[in-house]
Structure 1
Amino acid sequence: MSVRLKLTASYAGFLVVAGVLLIAVVWVFLLRYVPDRAGTVVELGPPADGNRPGLFVPGRSDLWRAFAPKAALALGFLLVFGLVGGWLLSSRMLAPLDRITRATRTAATGSLTHRIHLPGRRDEFRELADAFDAMLEKLEAHVAEERRFAANASHELRTPLAITQALLDVARDDPDRDVGVLLDRLRTVNTRAIGLTEALLLLSRAGQGSFARERVDLSLLAEDAAETLLPLAEKRGTTLETSGDVTWAVGSQALLLQLTTNLVHNAVVHNLPEGGSVHVTTTADHGSAVLVVENTGERLAPGLVATLAEPFQRGTERVHGDQAGVGLGLAIVQSIARAHGGTLTLSPRVDGGLRVVVRLPGAPAAEDR
């Protein structure tokens, strides 16, 4: 049975049951006070015309024989009325559900641009339709992002493979070419391809959110990342400083260390050629763990900053050599932050450079647990 038919049968059944209950009430509370047999009531006192007419009083069986057919007709009418009215009422009640069903089938064919836009007052069906529209909107954006990511990833992976193919073709056509130089260039290209692949795997792992969670001190992670990248900062003439109190967060220590390292590395690499600086700060703010990384550099337009967290987006073209990134640093940071229930905020500094704020769910300190 369909839902519409079930609702129709339910409406009709409720009406018939209500009628039966009404008849039962009449029988229990009214007819039981009527005598079983019929009788005649004779008036007292001298009759006016010499006759003593009697008043006929029907018995319980007489009343029931007169009442039962009419009650049966009423129950039949209630049954028919319940079926017809229930069918019409259920059709009107389920009309929004039919509209949602058609939208679902349209989305199943791959058309994610369709929206329900259910009119009327806000009820359960309206909330369901609005939630479905919001889901379609997010799904459409996710699919578009995945397609763009796949296209960019294919392009980025194709580049080192094309370079390797070109180097091998040159070596085959020129047997006298220095093998050592060729091997060095092949090693550089291969290292970059491996780094890109590892970054893609890390991005996929962070997006799935399948990792163990524990209490992590962001201040220690910031110090570890700064210590690891200090040689690179000194080589580039960049001052690297960390500060802040003990800041507890909840999440994966390995992923949060990768997040911090990516931010500090990005801040060191995308900086002034000489005399730049990077400041890393950790604070606890109203139940949240906040990591702030600021660096000097060129002035960035707000429109450019808004796209830096997208995969394979690079802020500038000034980074060359071994430190050239693959355009996944901030994308990985954003994916890790989202997987931990946090947020990533990018904003340009007035004097140039970038300010990155990562806000994660905080954890109580050891003495507060």
Structure 2
Amino acid sequence: MKKEEIKKVVLAYSGGLDTSIIIPWLKENYNNCEVIAVSGNVGQDDELDGLEEKAIKTGASKLYVLDLTDEYVDDFIIPTMKAGAIYEEYLLGTSTARPCIAKGLVEVAKKENADAICHGCTGKGNDQVRFELTIKHFAPEMPIIAPWREWDIKSREEEIDYAEAHNVPLKINRETNYSKDKNLWHLSHEGLDLEEVENEPKYEEKGFLEMGVSPIDAPDEPTYIELDFEQGTPVALNGEKMTAKEIILALNELGGKNGIGLLDIIENRLVGMKCRGVYETPGGTILYKAHEYLESATLDKMTLHEKQKLAITFAEVVYNGQWYTPLREALSAFVDKTQENVTGKVRMKLYKGNIIKAGLWSDYSLYSEEIATFGESDYDQTDANGFINLFGLPITVQAMVDQKNNK
């Protein structure tokens, strides 16, 4: 489709710096086209306050706010958590949210008969890929506009200049201009002083952390929690039945106040460069540890080890924006099979940034105290003779051959 033929554009809108200036930019550069802003609510809370008024004042014709929180948790977070998928220590917060949001974007674009979909992702980042691969899956013929790959703006400072020149209201200033992404699973921080890897994150500085506190500022007394799982999915916290979303939100509060889930990493982006990010994932970190603890008792050795291998692939697929692919679906099918007996209760102790195992109960546990005990049991230790002889047979034969050939 030619540029002049685009009359209506659906914009992925967060109200942040990038998408705030994109509205007037689209109208200036795409023949005063109609801009329909769409915000996917994945749990960013107060970031949605005043969003409609801001979008309209900036030039949008309307704003859709899509409540995606349940879908995000049930269809993206929980399957990823059950897979044990971790990308270079990162618990895939932004990575899981983007395909969920992009799916909603396409639904609105089709409803509104839009000519194109626009996003505010930079040409340096991963999100451009995550958005566009999802759009291609659901609307392969839909044109995609990516202003960062078109305009002559080179930095966030120049974006602020543009916003000021066009009277676009911003919640940030040049001194607090971290690039952040927030949802109910995590909060990421990039930019400013974090771009210099020799700088320590300002964990103790007021206003830096939003989902919790530094372990230094956490209580001196531990917090005990109990989590119940059914087939790998969390179903209760401290004996109270809850949805997975409710559990994550409650764990965010408990983990946050105990300094849980802070991560400072230099990660490898899909586009080839390394970047430095600081992440807050208090509830998610607890959930991963608890689930891993239960799996250690309920999965047999070969299944557990194979699952751990495939967790790396699962994480790369999600990180790279390939959620809607046959491979991800096949991996999820494998994961679901492994979770059939991952049912039980775990107790964890939260203390100054640490998650300490404090007990496990499961009717499906493969751990047998009778077999593993150092005390008296029915286990016949002489059985080990034949096992070791057979297991070591290749080593024995190789040694005999080496001796024969004077090696």
TM-score by shorter chain over 0.5: no
Relative to the length of structure 1, the TM-score reads 0.21
Which protein shows a greater Rg? 1
Higher RCO, 1 vs 2 (CA within 8 Å, ≥6 residues apart): 2
Q: Which has the higher strand share?
A: 2
Relative to the length of structure 2, the TM-score reads 0.20
Q: Which has the higher helix share?
A: 1
